[in-house]
Amino acid sequence: MKQPAKKLTLAILVLAFIVGLVGCFLKFFDMDKFTKFLGAFLPFFLGMVASVGTGSVVSKIQEGKHDRKTDA
């Protein structure tokens, strides 16, 4: 399995999005507490998004270098 950390990170972000999306339609779901939760974990979420983006950029750069070496 390639890049398990990326898949796990994306799964966590999608799960948080789905919980908020479904929760906003349910009367018993306290959206204020959920937004406080997201605010408290915002640095972690930003770090996860940045790590996925950085990993993608690094992979593309490495693939480009690999392609140039094989073309020569």
Q: What is the pLDDT of residues 14-23, one digit of tens each?
A: 888 898 888 8
- H-only helix segments in 1-72: 4-23, 31-40, 42-71
Domain boundaries, the chain: 11-24+31-71
pLDDT, tens digit (0-9, with 9 covering 90-100), for 16-64: 889 888 888 888 888 888 888 888 888 888 888 888 888 878 888 888 7
Residue with tokens 């999306």: 21
